[in-house]
Amino acid sequence: MTLLAFRNLFQNKARLVISVGGVALALMLILSLDAIFTGMERRVTAYIDQSGADIFVSQSGVRNMHMASSWLAASAQADVESVSGVELVTPILYITNMIVIGDERNLAYIIGLPEDAKAGGAWKVTAGRGQPEPGETVIDRGVAEKSGAAPGDEVEILGRKFEIVGLSEGTASLVNSVAFISMADFAALRGNPDSVSFLLVKVKPGDSAESVAAQIESKVNDVTAQSTTEFAVQERKVIKDMSTDVIALMNAIGFLIGLAVMALTVYTATFARRAEYGVLKALGARNGHLYHAVLMQAFFSVALGFALGLIFTLAVSAVAPRLSLTLALEVSGASLIKVGAVSLIIGGLAAILPIRQIAGLDPAIVFRGK
């Protein structure tokens, strides 16, 4: 029956294109929306993920960056450096503010970097240099291109003009971007020369970020220390609660619509073959054999559609960054498992519904189309 189902599927090429193509389009919609949502979640923590730090140390009680305020005494750096397992510490200053380029206003993380920053700077510089000096800034390439700016132009950050000396990539999301200035400029503009916002800690090889973070919290007063992984989790949670519920809802609606289209495609394709199954029944095929043939045919259709949908989604994910630097599609293993499993179940159920009607009928009635 498995071989019969396979032959039956490929016998009528037009019907094959319609059934597999419909499933592929539906699954492409599901996978693309899920990839956009996953990519957006990852991109909003790009700065944290790419900071080069193993631990983020902040003011006590502060567990994320977005729209947060964290101030530590500059002396806290020496205290953290004295903790066992700490290899190096990089202080940064941070605030969420606007980059003003002409009439364009772009929300951004403004990062103040020390001259010898070993972490926390731009991780992929596509033009110019990544370490700003006083009076200079490094901004995201997508933000610059959208505003018509280039290295050598001026932008306004924290009420002061800065010259663009570098463009970074991968530092913009649908929520914000990242801009880097010197720590000296940041401190002068914000009036806190003896404070830092965060301490970015690199642990020694062989030491656990979680255990070193626990030691920092126990030995340094009034700080919260989290591994970079946990800090990113908290950041995504805050941003998701604040701004991505609508996107999550759109993703869920798209998922349901995609499943409905796929189910209708499989149902229609199976129902169109009711006369063929009537012949099998007239020749003595048992209902169990019919169910097996129908399910195998549905599974083949879903598997082929899934493969085509995945190929198209991967192609779009490769092209999308070139079209819009703030849009990143990321196909995750968890998404593939979820979509694949649910699709097979829904496809099987959609195929069984029409065959249940045929299985209980007399073959002669099926032939008359009643």
Q: Both 162 and 269 in a single domain?
A: no
Q: Both 120 and 203 in a single domain?
A: yes
pLDDT at 351: 76
Sign of CA dihedral 55, 59, 64, 65: negative
Q: With contact defined as beta carbons under 8 Å apart, do 170 and 48 qualify? A: no
Q: Both 293 and 351 in a single domain?
A: yes
Nearest-angstrom CA–CA distance, 257 and 211? 46
Instruction: Based on DSSP, count helices (H) and strands (E) in the chain, helices before strands.
Output: 13, 12
Provide CB contacts within 8 A for 359, sequence distance 6+. 281, 287, 290, 291
Q: Both 93 and 204 in a single domain?
A: yes
Question: At which of 186, 221, 256 does a domain end?
Answer: 221
Residue 323, Cβ density class (10 Å: 0-12 exposed, 13-18 middle, ≥19 buried): exposed
Provide CB contacts within 8 A for 232, sequence distance 6+. 45, 48, 49
Nearest-angstrom CA–CA distance, 80 and 61? 17
Q: Is residue 146 part of a domain?
A: yes
pLDDT tens per residue across all 370 residues of the chain: 445 445 555 555 666 677 777 788 888 888 887 777 777 777 778 899 999 999 999 999 999 988 788 999 999 999 999 999 999 999 999 998 999 998 889 989 999 999 989 999 999 999 999 999 999 999 999 899 888 999 999 999 999 999 999 999 888 876 788 999 999 999 999 877 789 999 999 999 999 999 999 999 999 999 999 999 999 999 888 877 765 566 667 777 877 888 888 888 877 877 777 667 667 666 666 767 777 777 787 788 788 888 888 888 888 777 766 665 556 677 777 788 888 888 888 888 887 777 776 666 565 655 555 4
Q: Is residue 239 part of a domain?
A: no
The DSSP letter of residue 182 is E
Q: What is the pTM of this model?
A: 0.71
Nearest-angstrom CA–CA distance, 4 and 49? 51
Q: Both 107 and 37 in a single domain?
A: no
Residue 217, Cβ density class (10 Å: 0-12 exposed, 13-18 middle, ≥19 buried): middle
Domain count across the chain: 2
Q: Is residue 153 part of a domain?
A: yes
Q: Both 283 and 216 in a single domain?
A: no
Q: Both 34 and 153 in a single domain?
A: no
Nearest-angstrom CA–CA distance, 163 and 259? 51
Sign of CA dihedral 287, 293, 295, 298: negative
Question: At which of 221, 236, 266 does a domain end?
Answer: 221
Q: Both 117 and 193 in a single domain?
A: yes
Q: Is residue 234 part of a domain?
A: no
Q: Both 65 and 39 in a single domain?
A: no
pLDDT at 212: 97
Q: Both 117 and 264 in a single domain?
A: no
Nearest-angstrom CA–CA distance, 8 and 45? 49
Q: Both 178 and 206 in a single domain?
A: yes
pLDDT at 31: 82
Nearest-angstrom CA–CA distance, 15 and 269? 7
Q: Is residue 236 part of a domain?
A: no
Q: Is residue 298 part of a domain?
A: yes
Question: At which of 182, 206, 221 does a domain end?
Answer: 221
Q: Are strands 160-168 and 136-140 parallel, antiparallel or unpaired?
A: parallel
Task: Fill in the amino acid letter for 36.
Answer: I
The DSSP letter of residue 170 is S
Nearest-angstrom CA–CA distance, 106 and 126? 20
Q: Is residue 92 part of a domain?
A: yes
pLDDT at 11: 59
Q: Both 35 and 9 in a single domain?
A: yes
Domain carrying residue 277: 2-44+244-367
Task: Fill in the amino acid letter for 161.
Answer: K
Q: What are phi and psi of 234, to 5 degrees?
A: -65, -40
Q: Is residue 319 part of a domain?
A: yes
Provide CB contacts within 8 A for 276, sequence distance 6+. 8
